[in-house]
Structure 1
Amino acid sequence: MTLGNRVALAGGAVVFAALLLASLIIYPSLSASLHHQHDSVLITAADKDASKLLAGFKTKMQALEREGTPLTAPTSPVTIGSTQLQFIVPPVASGTEGDFIPVTAKDVQVARGAAPAYFQDAAFKGVNYRVYTAPLAGWNGALVRALIPQSVVDSTLGPLAVMLIVITACGTLLAVLGARLVAGRVLRPVRRLTETVEHVTATQDLTPRIDVRGRDEIARLAGSFAAMMTAVEESVRAQRQLVADASHELRTPLTSITTNLELLSEGPGVADPQAPALVEQARTQAEELRSLVNNLVELARFGQQDAHTEDIRLDLLTERVVARTARRSPQVALRTDLSACMVHADPDALERAVGNLVDNAVKWSPAGGQVLVAVFPDGTVTVTDEGPGIPAADLPFVFDRFYRSPTARALPGSGLGLAIVKQVAETHGGTVATEPLNQGLRMRLSLPAAP
């Protein structure tokens, strides 16, 4: 079942419940009101109409008595308007049969004034009646019954019940149809979003977008989807570029290693006088290949998982990195200016980033040159070398993956060291920057300082 149909059914169910509840309230209320009105009519008939009718009978009785002809009040129900009246003259005795329902002991009590008037429902000759029994005013010991057929009330309640049923059914049907039309319009962006997702799944094309205006949840969903697609597209593009660049960079050392091994396998092999040089070249290329693979692994790891972070003394970490680099590169003098500074970061990632900055400065520094490494209290590390610097045209790209300026292609490296520095900085909410000098270059890594 589609979402639109479920919304339509839900809307219809709500309207049906509301109409059903209203019907269950209206019908009993009107039924009670009608019965109360008819009961009031019966009371009026037993009081006023019976008195008028009795007065007329008394006048006739007096006239006939003067003529010597006796006349008694009628015991059969007499129709007056919509009601009927029955007179029961004294002596009122229990069990007396008449032209209507029998007299009961309660009727006898009412006639004597020992019990109040009362209502009852009774059946006579297949007809249901509403009966009001009361003492007959102006005639001691007599009773009057006012009665009305129940069909008078039922004739009103029956059509009312049918009308409520029809209203409930039609209202529910209209609600379902209306909700379906509205759901179709409201969910149109969702349908477009679904079609876009299916298109992306089928074609792997990440360019489609949907434009939904507004500030409701569906518009926010469409906006989130568009942002997600943009991020995914950028991620896929970066991955493809990374694979392409990595393939290109891996091809060179692998080709060199393969060539050297083929040369060693031909002729006298390791007995060849050139064998040591070929082996050394293969080892150098293997080292570059290992470094490239390690850099790729580090580049893929930073920012892709929750790293362990802690408060670190940035000055002490930098001091360790400088000491290690000084042992490996004695041809360059490393000087430090370290101020106490605390940052909250991944210690391994931060040490790798600072190490890459220092290694890059050492690589570009001439023999006997100096590299100054400084740490500032605000969480900034600067590495200043005395190398040839970087051309202005290459400055915007020095932190890009696999980017190597034309002057750097003859030197060892993969073009990933500074990219790792940038990713570590951004992962920790920091920045990296380059500052050209008259002689050399200063690179700056800035991280938020911990309290």
Structure 2
Amino acid sequence: MTLRNRVALAGGTVVFAALLLASLVIYPSLSAGLHRQSDDVLTSAADRDASQLLKDFKFKMEQMEREGTRLTVPTSPVTVGSTQLQFVAPPVAAGPGGGFLPVSSHDVEVARGRAPAYFQDAEYEGVTYRVYTAPLSGWDGALVRAAIRQSVVSSTLDRLTVLLAVITAGGTLLAALGARLVAGRVLRPVRQLTDTVEHITATQDLTARIDVHGRDEIARLARSFAAMMAAVEESVTAQRRLVSDASHELRTPLTSITTNLELLSEGPGVADPQAPALVEQARTQTRELRDLVNDLVELARHGQQHLHTEDTRLDLLAERVVARIARRGPQATLRTDLAPCLVHADPDALERALGNLVDNAVKWSPDGGQVLVRVAPDGTVTVTDQGPGIPADDLPFVFDRFYRSPTARSLPGSGLGLAIVKQVAEMHGGRVTAEPAEHGLCMRLRLPPAT
């Protein structure tokens, strides 16, 4: 069953339950009201109509007596409007009585005023009546019975039952149809989202998107899905580019090592006068291969693991990095200007990023040049060298993976060091930029200071 049909079924079910509940409340209420109204009519007839009818009989009796004849009160039911009246003249005694019902001992008690008036149902001439028995006002010891056909109330209740059934069925059907029509419009983004997911599953096309307007939950879901797909596409593209670039970078040192080993295996082998040079070249290529693998592992580690952050003195960390690199005896002179600065960061990741910045500056500095490492209290680290700088066209790409400017391709390196710096900066909520300096290049790493 489709989601649209489920919504229609749910809407129809809710409306059906509401209408059914309303019917179950309305029907007993109206039924009780109609029966109460019918009883009020009988009570009024037994009181007002019977009294008026009795007065008419008394007037006629007096007139007939003056004329020398005699008139008696009828004991058979008399029709008055929608009701029928029956009189039981005194003395009231238990027996057949005629009319709707025989006279019972209870009726005798009612006539004498010892019992209250009461209602009962009775069959008379094949018709069911609602009968009200009460003492006759104005005639001591007499009874009056007022009766009305039960069909007057039952027919109204039957019509009410049919009406409620039609309303319930019609309302349920209309609600289901309306819910299905509305669901078709409301769930259109869900259908588009489903089509997009199926398209991506079938074609692996990560560029597919869905454009939904609105602020409801479905629109938010569609926008979240679009953002997720954009992130997945970017991640997959970056992964493919990384694999492609890494395979290209790995191929060069592996080819060189293989070639040198093949040359050593031919001819006199290690006795060849060129063997030491070939071994040294193989060692150099092995070191480059090791550095490349380490950089790839570093990128993967920082991209997949959570940072273990703590309050870290950025100035002390930079001082330790500079001291370590200075022990290697680089051709450049390292100078520092370190102001106390506290940041909340992963010390290991941040030390690797600072080391890459300083190593890059040393690599590009000429013999006898200077590299200045400065830490500001606002969490900014600047590393300035006196090298040849970077062309303006290359500045936007210096932090891309495996990017190496034409002038740097003859130098050792993998092109991943500055990419690691950028990744570490972004993971800490900061950023890194490259700016031309007066004599060289200035790398600026900005991190949010600890609060």
Q: TM-score, with normalisation over the residues of structure 1?
A: 0.95
SS of equivalent to 2:336: strand
**Structure 1 residues 67-91: Cα deviation after superposition (integer angstroms, max 9, x where no partner):** 7665432222222221111111112
1:238 — aligned with what?
238
SS of equivalent to 1:13: helix
After superposition, where does 1:98-177 map in structure 2 within 5 Å? 98-124=98-124, 127-177=127-177
1:85 — aligned with what?
85
Contact 2:95/2:104, CA 8 A, preserved across alignment: yes
1:291 maps to a residue whose letter is D
Shift of 1:127: 3.5
Kindly indicate whether residue 368 of structure 2 is the aligned counterpart of residue 368 of structure 1.
Answer: yes
Percentage of identical aligned residues: 80
Contact 1:117/1:133, CA 8 A, preserved across alignment: yes
Moved over 6 A (4+): none
**Structure 1 residues 128-186: Cα deviation after superposition (integer angstroms, max 9, x where no partner):** 32111111122110000101121110011101101110110111011111111111122
CA distance in 2: counterparts of 1:66 and 1:395, whole angstroms: 136
CA distance in 2: counterparts of 1:124 and 1:267, whole angstroms: 135
- Greater shift in the superposed pair: 292-301 or 408-417: 292-301
1:424 — aligned with what?
424
SS of equivalent to 2:119: strand
Shift of 1:330: 4.1
RMSD (Å) for aligned C-alpha atoms? 1.9
Shift of 1:63: 5.0
CA distance in 2: counterparts of 1:45 and 1:102, whole angstroms: 20
1:28 — aligned with what?
28
1:191 maps to a residue whose letter is R
1:365 maps to a residue whose letter is S
SS of equivalent to 1:119: strand
Contact 2:337/2:374, CA 8 A, preserved across alignment: yes
Aligned residues: 451
1:384 — aligned with what?
384
CA distance in 1: counterparts of 2:303 and 2:326, whole angstroms: 29
CA distance in 1: counterparts of 2:275 and 2:76, whole angstroms: 141
Contact 1:398/1:404, CA 8 A, preserved across alignment: yes
2:397 — aligned with what?
397
Contact 2:100/2:123, CA 8 A, preserved across alignment: no
CA distance in 1: counterparts of 2:284 and 2:125, whole angstroms: 121
Shift of 1:302: 2.0
- Greater shift in the superposed pair: 269-278 or 352-361: 269-278
CA distance in 2: counterparts of 1:106 and 1:83, whole angstroms: 23
Shift of 1:110: 2.0
SS of equivalent to 1:133: strand
Shift of 1:93: 2.5
Q: TM-score, with normalisation over the residues of structure 2?
A: 0.95
Kindly indicate whether residue 44 of structure 2 is the aligned counterpart of residue 44 of structure 1.
Answer: yes
2:300 — aligned with what?
300
**Structure 1 residues 22-77: Cα deviation after superposition (integer angstroms, max 9, x where no partner):** 22222222222222222222122112221232233334444555676654322222
**Structure 1 residues 102-148: Cα deviation after superposition (integer angstroms, max 9, x where no partner):** 33333222211233323233344654321111111221100001011
1:56 — aligned with what?
56
2:406 — aligned with what?
406
2:259 — aligned with what?
259
CA distance in 2: counterparts of 1:104 and 1:316, whole angstroms: 115
CA distance in 1: counterparts of 2:102 and 2:268, whole angstroms: 140
CA distance in 2: counterparts of 1:356 and 1:120, whole angstroms: 105
CA distance in 2: counterparts of 1:65 and 1:209, whole angstroms: 107
**Structure 1 residues 321-379: Cα deviation after superposition (integer angstroms, max 9, x where no partner):** 11111112343322222111100011111000000001111111223322221211111
Kindly indicate whether residue 191 of structure 2 is the aligned counterpart of residue 191 of structure 1.
Answer: yes
2:14 — aligned with what?
14
CA distance in 1: counterparts of 2:76 and 2:3, whole angstroms: 69
SS of equivalent to 1:92: coil
CA distance in 1: counterparts of 2:106 and 2:283, whole angstroms: 124
Contact 2:121/2:129, CA 8 A, preserved across alignment: yes
CA distance in 1: counterparts of 2:431 and 2:217, whole angstroms: 35
**Structure 1 residues 184-204: Cα deviation after superposition (integer angstroms, max 9, x where no partner):** 122112111110110011101
Contact 1:329/1:362, CA 8 A, preserved across alignment: no
